Amino acid sequence: MALEKCPSCGSESLIRTPRSKVMISSFGCDLHTADEHSMDCLNEKCKYTSGTIRINTEEGDRLELPWWKRIFS
């Protein structure tokens, strides 16, 4: 994983930090719908964090559609 440039301090010290997986239960099975991560600066003086960023999986994108689009697509 490559380091990126921090918007706060300007050094190459920004790294993607995994936070959690978002799951839903449906008919007795768990579906992985999204991943959450944040961008954190490794510089001890900066302490920049981007907050939570959520990225949907293919199943999560499909579940965000209205029910009639899920049936007919």
Contact by Cβ (8 Å): 36, 56? no
Find tokens 């993607």 and name the residue: 16
Find tokens 């949907």 and name the residue: 56
pLDDT digits (tens, 9 = 90+) for 22-52: 888 878 888 888 999 999 999 989 989 999 9
- pTM for this prediction: 0.70
Could you tell me which of 10, 35, 11 has the C-alpha nearest to residue 23? 35
pLDDT (0 to 100) of residue 52: 92
Report whether pLDDT(59) > 70. Answer: yes
